Amino acid sequence: MKFFFTFLLSFLSIFNVYAQDLYLIKLKEKENISNNLSNPLKIISQKSLDRRIKYNIDLDEKDIPISQDKINKIKNLSLNYIGHTKWLNTIMVEISDLSVISKIEELSFVESVNTMVRGKEISGFTKIESKWTDLNSKKVNYDYGKSNDFIEQLNLKPLHDQGYLGNDVYIGVIDAGFPGVDKIVAFENLRNDNRILDTYDFVSKKKNVYDSNSHGTMVLSTMATEINGIYIGTAPKATYSLYISEDNDSETPKELLYWIQAAERADSVGVDIINTSLGYNTFDDSRYDYTYEDMNGKTTLISLGAQVAVDKGILVVTSAGNEGSKSWKYITSPADVVDVFTVGANTLYKTAASFSSYGPNAMNDLKPNVSALGSLVPLYSQNGQQTYNNGTSFSSPITAGAMAILLQKFPKIELALLKDKVQKSAHLYSNPTNQLGYGIPDYYKAFQELLETREIKLNKQLDIYPNPFNNEIVIQSNNKEMSIEIYNVAGQKVLSFYNQEKINTSNLKSGVYLIKIQDKNGNNYIEKIVKK
């Protein structure tokens, strides 16, 4: 009977007998853009706004939610509504009655409707994607126990000893489930400090994430656990948000949308880093499968979403994939995005783990960027026991936590500069490979290099606060002679001062401004500021 059932499924798939197909509805430009952008705290959180101000990133149409009216008009049609992404201004649905497509196209706010089945043109994106790839500091002195394997390999101990443990850095983890994180001792400090700020399961549409697959628990343990003498993660004092986007019962393109929704929520609550130990190239329904040529950073839906996350000032860290010894061999998406920090897996002997996926991406861009321990990685299971596992799934969060250490020390650093210094510290920098990229970074070396970087020194000379502000701004600077000019978003100068530390802004309306400060040496400092 089992043989007959399997044969029947195969027979039906040959003739493409499917009840419903997935479609993407691309919407036209959003309305009232300027009004929405003039009140940023109505569409994003203060933490998210602070990150954009830090990196001088403008809010844009992608930040504006899709109107509920448009969503309701789509839902009222004879289809299965899957969800939407504001970043890509797109709605995903399942359609069985093809006559509905013309009804969607007749809606005034719809730009195009395209199937996600491969081999047919997909306007605005093109095509789609295997499962996950398996301040002020106090000096501390940790005994790492089992985690010493990867802490020592990355030379993180000197940074931990100085008290750089990820404090005040916010990491969003998008994965398959986090059972045990709410109970086991390994995460006790994380819970007691209330450093899990947000959770959501985008597959089941619920707040609770402490169920489902334990993959996320193991991933999180490499960063967030803290039991001195037994195990210390790479960023044990960081703050976390936990999101589920992986459907453990099936592999469909819906998960790509769930991932983008999770990334959008992570952005809105203000994360600094996203770790994702997931990757996609094939699905249960092979009509949606990708080819290696699609791993170009610009084709798959999830890669488009990951690029937007990067554009919003988030450091996106992802696993390269576990396809190295399989027929696919190469990285999966979103590891193919140039600006995503892709991580391969190495062994304790600094060689490539056989399963670690190969780069480059389809555009011949170097991938992975770096590597970390991914073979026999010590971690925690959902029952609170220490165990070992293999996969780039674990080299990625190990790296995300290490990057959080540097972000703690250099909170205003440009992410491109941060990634560059980390890559240059790696053991294969002069001779990168297609499995390890630049290899294993020396994070203490990168730390020391950043201390000597001119861009970092310039940032230290000036501080503007509070931001956002009410009726006064304070400027602290090493330079006592400085001219200060404030411009509105139209580029008009609205205020100017000279040698003044406290600036009265009571005459300014609420909104976004640029402040330009020039010191006596002609150095210019420009920063985005927001009046409440």
DSSP, collapsed to helix, strand or coil, labels residue 458 as helix
35 versus 27: which is more confidently predicted? 27
Least confident of 44-53, 163-172, 258-267, 280-289: 44-53
- Among left, alpha and beta (phi > 0; psi -120 to 50; other), residue 374 is alpha
Domain 148-456: top CATH class: alpha beta
Residue 177 and residue 145 in contact, taking contact as beta carbons nearer than 8 Å: no
pTM for this one?
0.82
* CATH code for residues 461-531: 2.60.40.2550
pLDDT attached to residue 122: 36
Among 89, 92, 99, which Cα is nearest to 115's?
92
Residue 252 and residue 200 in contact, taking contact as beta carbons nearer than 8 Å: no
What is the rounded CA–CA span in Å between residue 266 and residue 309?
9
Q: What are phi and psi of 472, to 5 degrees?
A: -150, 140
Q: Structural domain boundaries of the chain?
A: 21-115, 148-456, 461-531
| pLDDT tier at 136, thresholds 50, 70, 90 | very low
What is the rounded CA–CA span in Å between residue 395 and residue 375?
9
What is the rounded CA–CA span in Å between residue 367 and residue 372?
14
DSSP assigned state of 389: E
| pLDDT tens-digit map of 368-389 | 999 999 999 999 999 999 999 9
DSSP, collapsed to helix, strand or coil, labels residue 331 as coil
Amino acid type, 426: A
Q: Do domains 148-456 and 461-531 have the same CATH topology?
A: no
Strand partners, 239: 170
| pLDDT tens-digit map of 143-162 | 999 999 999 999 999 999 99
DSSP, collapsed to helix, strand or coil, labels residue 126 as coil
Residue 332 and residue 295 in contact, taking contact as beta carbons nearer than 8 Å: yes
pLDDT attached to residue 235: 98
DSSP, collapsed to helix, strand or coil, labels residue 99 as helix
Q: What is the average pLDDT score of the chain?
A: 88
Which residues are within 8 A (CB) of 55 and not within 5 positions of it... i.e. 6 or more apart? 313, 414, 415
pLDDT attached to residue 139: 65
Residue 314 and residue 407 in contact, taking contact as beta carbons nearer than 8 Å: no
What is the rounded CA–CA span in Å between residue 439 and residue 368?
9
Among 219, 245, 247, which Cα is nearest to 319's?
219
Residue 129 and residue 256 in contact, taking contact as beta carbons nearer than 8 Å: yes
Which residues are within 8 A (CB) of 384 and not within 5 positions of it... i.e. 6 or more apart? 180, 183, 184, 185, 186
Question: End-to-end alpha-carbon separation of the chain, Å?
Answer: 68
| pLDDT tens-digit map of 504-525 | 988 888 888 888 888 777 777 7
Strand partners, 292: none
Q: What are phi and psi of 62, to 5 degrees?
A: -60, -25
